[in-house]
Amino acid sequence: MGYKHNKEDILEVGYQVIRKNGYHHVGINQILKEAGIPKGSFYNFFESKEDFAIQVIQYYGEGNRSWLKGIFQESTETPINTLKSFYKLLIGYNEDDNFCSGCLINNMGNETGRLYDSLAKETKEQFDHWLDLIAEIVKKGQEAKEITNRFGAKEIANYLHSGFYGTFFKMKVERSRKDMDTWLKMTFEFIRA
């Protein structure tokens, strides 16, 4: 039957709350309350807030990685359109979310990257895994002569996703998708073969 609470549920709540509010702005008590678990259980599963954050990043990173994999595998479009649709999808998700949260990885990296080596390391690792998947599609696009060959596939993948992260700043302060749409339009003009 298992016990009453389990790690994944706490991680899911933590992921949502931290993504929306940031790391330092969120206290453990808040997560506890929203997850409906007592403190004893939390510290049974996690050593500290920092340890919890690492596992949240892992949880989100891995979940997202398999989601990505699925999306790319199932796509029936050409490589460059697969990528474009993917970013369109992400923009849509952020719109549904009222342009509030952005990406946990980007948020955590920017807020805590220089403060805690442990979080920086985990953040970077998960991001790199995503990049590998994106780079695969970029490479296919290059082979299909859809995407420029002037730069390496991994370089372009990084350019894409980091560039996308750059749009979160304005998304959050303007609460609008306008800049994300412009970014999409321009970037995919630029990387075209």
- 52 CA to centre of own chain: 17
**Interhelix angle 79-96/117-143, nearest 10 degrees:** 140
In the complex, least distance from residue 159 CB atom to a second copy, rounded to whole angstroms: 5
Distance from CA of residue 22 to its chain's centroid?
Answer: 14
Instruction: Identify what 179 binds: DNA, a second copy, none; CB under 5 to 8 Å per kind.
Output: a second copy
CB-based contact 157:134 (threshold 8 Å): yes
- Choose the binding region for a second copy from 28-36, 48-56, 63-71, 180-188 (rule: CB under 8 A): 180-188
Select from 46, 86, 87, 127 the one that contacts a second copy (CB under 8 A). 127
Q: Tell me, what amino acid is at 112?
A: T
Rounded CA-CA distance 10/192 in Å is 43
List the interface residues with a second copy, window 88-117 (CB under 8 A).
99-102, 105-107, 109-115
| Residue 24 binds a second copy, judged by CB under 8 A | yes
Cβ atoms within 10 Å, residue 84: 18
- Residue 63 within binding range of a second copy, rule CB under 8 A: no
Q: Which residues sit at the interface with a second copy, rule CB under 8 A?
A: 20-22, 24-25, 99-102, 105-107, 109-115, 120-121, 123-124, 127, 150-151, 155-156, 158-159, 162-170, 172-175, 179, 182-183, 186, 189-191
